[in-house]
Structure 1
Amino acid sequence: MTLTMAATFIVVLDTTIANVALPHMQAALSASPDTISWVLTSYILASAVALPLTGWLSARLGRRMLFTVAVAGFTISSALCGVANSLTTMVAARLIQGLCGAVLAPMSQAIMYDINPPEKHVQAMTLWGLVIMVGPILGPVVGGYLTDNFNWRWVFYINVPIGIVTAIGGWLLLSGGKQAGRRFDLTGFVLLATALCSMQLLLDRGVQLDWFDATEIWVELGICLMTSWMFIVHTVTTKDTVLPRALFADRNFVTACVSIFVLGGILMAGAALVAPMLQALLGYPVLLAGVLTAPRGVGTMAGMLLAGRLARIIDPRVPILTGMALLALSLWMMTGFDLQMDQRPIIVTGLIQGLGLGLVVLPMNLLALSTLSSALRTDAASLYNLMRSIGGSVAISLMTALIARNTQVSHSTLGGHLSQTRLPFLGQGIFEQLGFDGAAITQMMNSEVTRQAVMIAYLDDYYVMMWAAIAVMPLIFVMRRSRADLPDVVVDAH
């Protein structure tokens, strides 16, 4: 159990730990602001491509071999990231990291399920889910501390000792050989990988290229739509596919995938928005901004522990709806943020939002997989992870684009109130007459207008996420209760 949790922790930690170190990497690797983003993009792309392969690889190589190779590959690539002296080396190492890390998440889940007796499944998956949920939240805190007190390279070196111990332990302690797996669906895999890569490139590059004003974005959109349609047709008409058709016939699983797409977006976008807002608008240093996001992790831990206790007592849909309501409440409270607030609103909303997420994730995944056969569980866990990952990517890109657009709109609106009609002294040279630099004062006023406009844009994002959380709530009533099956399921809280 300790081995699988350690492997899972370093993987999920790496999804966010590198974010705060990007400015330092940019200088060390002589990269531009546009190209340094590939440090994050390459990891996400590789993860998206590798996730659908987990079920086939597990049957082909065996659990013991796949787990050990994946941990070893993740550890070696982490070391390569730490010693990288060029952007090319860094991106290549991050690609390997993403490939190996994506395989580890559902693999660790399956191992945790099998090494525990049926009566311990909910408790074991609760503990495992805590690592999955808290890891990304701790990432900015750990990354900020290592970057401020040591060097950005330690953001990657921290994985090496944990990875070495985990790889050795996995080889010595795990069991599980090759299984009779289905035929590898090369056509389906290529179509799915192409669709996911083009979509991820569209989302990442769209912000930089002003979206559909650039030909590249149209090309990526066309490739994404074309290959997605071809993949759907291929899946419907082919016997052995990379994602079994039986998954899409299960009402609980399909509903949960849609829900986790939205909730994963709120989870990742929320983490991606708050820390930069605290640094850029409220003037908090990197480490303190990360610490102020930690209450979200505390709330998540409390929510998951509570959900684990409630799983056998009440209808799982009750804590899910309660958690979504708390999530929507926290986002509504965040729409009241202002530039003069102290730390209290940040801490309170973080605790409430974390509690809501914790109440949702565990019972949601119990319901999602409780009606699936054991033969579909690894593929189901992989697809579930994939939907969460895609939801996060879409939400982050959408929220970033909305911030850029709404900042311009709000700046124009606020700036209209600073015209000579409303403030006649602006055109009378009164600043110069009083001995002040009129141009400097005007620039200061423009900077403050921009600051206010950016804050309004953040609040607009919180409104959008609040309504997204509310919109997904009715879907819970579509899911079947299936309480009798809950102790015998695989849970994926990632």
Structure 2
Amino acid sequence: MSDRPEADELPVLRRVLILAAVVLGSTLYATTLLVASTLLPQMQGSMAATPDEIAWTTTFNILATAIATPTSGFLAARFGRRRVMLTGVLGSTLATWLCGQAESLEALVLWRVLQGGIGAPVVPLSNAIVLDSFPRRQAGLVSSIFGMTVVLGPVIGPVFGGMLAESHNWRWAFYMIIPAGLLAGLAQWLVLPRDRPAARVPMDWIGFLALATAIACLQLVFSRGQRLDWFESREIIVEAGIAALAFWIFLAHSLTTERPFLNLRLLLDRNYAIGLALVLIYGMVNFTPIVLLPTLLQSYAGYPDSIIGQIVGYRGIGGVIGFGSTLVIGRLDPRIGMSLGFGLLVVSGLWLMSLDLNVDVDTLRLNAVLQGVAVGVIWVPLTVLTFRTLDTRYTAEAMSVFHLLRNLGSSLFISASVTEIVRSTTANYSRMTEQVSPANRALGLPDAMGGWSLETPEALARLAREVERQAAMIGYLNAFGLYMAVSALAILLVMLARGPVRAAR
């Protein structure tokens, strides 16, 4: 039985300290999610990796978070919130140090997986602790304060990480988190109420392991498929087969067992089912530009790490504006707020599709602000609509699925986008280089070659580099097109949701 004190029994100062401690811990964990985004070009060179391989440091971290998040309730009941929180904060801090020490791509991906998995319970348990520590009448205020960690955390890492990577190297972007992580652990050890584990809570290990296996294998298919020529590779066939079998076991088990890991019957609630589809798309479009733009800007447009970090930071400014606007938009039908937010993402996607390699900093900053406003506007209406018609008895379980799909969408869509960039870059480079030949009469026309030449090996090398840059740009434009298309699809799904129930006159 838990011995957590009631909110009204805690002194005001204690409540504020608890809020500060858990907000620090959850913000740091959110920071670790995308700290690697501005570091990808440096890490790629250091690890002698390809663009799709170095993206694993982000996608597998998010994937580990997605898989481990639904276990938060079980772990808190089994070991107590305080223990799980301290383990998550200090464990992810240790994993962060190990990331900085990694000497190979395999080691870096391993420690990033550990970082995501061991720290996954921090955010949901922090949210629960904050709500339990304050009176119900203050729930809206403290939820808004805590919600800012979702927006600010993922941009703090790229901003300061980019500065440190430029002045030192990419390892210092991980090292900068360690002192703050130790401080957060100490603060939580001092102020979090001591609690005892609750009565033993059963865990559906068959359902959990089957779902985790299916998700992990699906991620491997997306991450390695392009490099291994998809189903021409025995590895991809095996991974796809294991994913399909594991998912079938999960479905069959969930529909037949008395207490499944995830209750699929909740999908009979229309708003909840549509909300899960929307949060999957939200996850797809939330982090993808932050991961794709740094490599594009540094490798092909010549931007330094510090400027790239600043561009990502402007997204945080937009997020603050977006969250602030929900004080007004939140009074409207949630479908209006979500349609507005996803509409802004469509505009930002079309804007990104119009860029070229000569893009200026101000354009990128404005686009980042627009993205931030959009994701900030969407979040609150999306949460309200998803859980509006659901029985409150299932809120905790339904919320775990909600966050699982949000993280899963991010991981899979980043992999799909990187795959499209690699595929399109290779295909377009081959097509364009076919035309660069003395046999092409068009190149002999006056001014056709501009400042380029085919006369010397050095000139050919410069031309090949430019063709590579333009082929890569086409690949990124295609990825931004996918980003725009799924944002537009979300608007159509919003229209299927059930609106507010009007009182009878």
Task: Tell me: CA distance 1:45–1:303, structure 2 relative to 1, closer, same or farther (3 Å).
Answer: closer
Q: Could you tell me which residue of structure 1 aligns to residue 146 of structure 2?
A: 128
Q: Could you tell me which residue of structure 2 aligns to residue 160 of structure 1?
A: 178
Task: Tell me: CA distance 1:232–1:268, structure 2 relative to 1, closer, same or farther (3 Å).
Answer: same
For 1:446 and 1:161, the matched residues in 2 are separated by 45
> Does residue 488 of structure 2 align to residue 470 of structure 1?
yes
What do residues 223-277 of structure 1 show as CA deviations (whole Å, max 9, x unaligned)?
Answer: 1111011101110110111123453333222211111111211122211111211
Q: Does the 8 A contact of 1:331 with 1:349 survive in 2?
A: no
For 2:258 and 2:58, the matched residues in 1 are separated by 36
**TM-fit CA distance, 1:163:** 2.3
Q: 1:255 is matched with which residue: 274, 279, 284?
A: 274
Structure 2 residues without counterparts, runs of 5 or longer: 1-18
Q: Could you tell me which residue of structure 2 aligns to residue 223 of structure 1?
A: 242
Q: Does the 8 A contact of 1:79 with 1:157 survive in 2?
A: yes
Query: 208-217 or 349-358: which moved more?
Result: 208-217
| Identity %, equivalent residues | 32
> Does residue 293 of structure 2 align to residue 274 of structure 1?
yes
What do residues 377-430 of structure 1 show as CA deviations (whole Å, max 9, x unaligned)?
Answer: 333332222111111122111111212222234335544654556535669xxx
Q: Could you tell me which residue of structure 2 aligns to residue 460 of structure 1?
A: 478
Task: Tell me: CA distance 1:454–1:21, structure 2 relative to 1, closer, same or farther (3 Å).
Answer: closer
Q: Could you say what secondary structure the match of 1:239 adopts?
A: coil
The within-5 A match list for 1:285-364 is 285-311=304-330, 313-364=331-382
What do residues 26-78 of structure 1 show as CA deviations (whole Å, max 9, x unaligned)?
Answer: 77778898876664465344323312211211222222222122222222333
Q: Could you tell me which residue of structure 1 aligns to residue 162 of structure 2?
A: 144
Q: Could you tell me which residue of structure 2 aligns to residue 491 of structure 1?
A: none
Q: Does the 8 A contact of 2:24 with 2:184 survive in 1?
A: yes
The within-5 A match list for 1:234-249 is 234-249=253-268
Q: How many residues align?
A: 480
Q: Does the 8 A contact of 2:99 with 2:112 survive in 1?
A: yes
Query: 68-77 or 168-177: which moved more?
Result: 168-177
Amino acid at match of 2:95: S
For 2:270 and 2:200, the matched residues in 1 are separated by 25
Task: Tell me: CA distance 1:216–1:336, structure 2 relative to 1, closer, same or farther (3 Å).
Answer: same
Task: Tell me: CA distance 1:332–1:88, structure 2 relative to 1, closer, same or farther (3 Å).
Answer: closer
Q: Could you tell me which residue of structure 2 aligns to residue 492 of structure 1?
A: none
Q: Could you tell me which residue of structure 2 aligns to residue 9 of structure 1?
A: 27
Task: Tell me: CA distance 1:174–1:408, structure 2 relative to 1, closer, same or farther (3 Å).
Answer: same
Task: Tell me: CA distance 1:436–1:250, structure 2 relative to 1, closer, same or farther (3 Å).
Answer: closer
For 1:277 and 1:30, the matched residues in 2 are separated by 18
Task: Tell me: CA distance 1:240–1:23, structure 2 relative to 1, closer, same or farther (3 Å).
Answer: same
> Does residue 166 of structure 2 align to residue 114 of structure 1?
no
Structure 1 residues without counterparts, runs of 5 or longer: 485-494
For 1:101 and 1:349, the matched residues in 2 are separated by 31
**TM-fit CA distance, 1:343:** 2.2
For 1:389 and 1:48, the matched residues in 2 are separated by 5
For 1:153 and 1:409, the matched residues in 2 are separated by 34
> Does residue 222 of structure 2 align to residue 203 of structure 1?
yes
Amino acid at match of 1:405: R
Amino acid at match of 2:133: I
Amino acid at match of 2:179: P
Q: Could you tell me which residue of structure 2 aligns to residue 489 of structure 1?
A: none
Query: What's the C-alpha RMSD, in Å, of the aligned pairs?
Result: 3.1
For 2:464 and 2:47, the matched residues in 1 are separated by 34
For 1:55 and 1:102, the matched residues in 2 are separated by 11
What do residues 153-212 of structure 1 show as CA deviations (whole Å, max 9, x unaligned)?
Answer: 332332322222322332333334433454211211221121122122222222432333
Task: Tell me: CA distance 1:85–1:397, structure 2 relative to 1, closer, same or farther (3 Å).
Answer: closer
Q: Could you say what secondary structure the match of 1:478 adopts?
A: coil
Q: Does the 8 A contact of 1:79 with 1:156 survive in 2?
A: yes
**TM-fit CA distance, 1:329:** 0.9
**TM-fit CA distance, 1:457:** 2.0
Amino acid at match of 2:262: L
The within-5 A match list for 1:383-398 is 383-398=401-416
Q: Does the 8 A contact of 1:126 with 1:308 survive in 2?
A: no
Q: Does the 8 A contact of 1:259 with 1:472 survive in 2?
A: yes
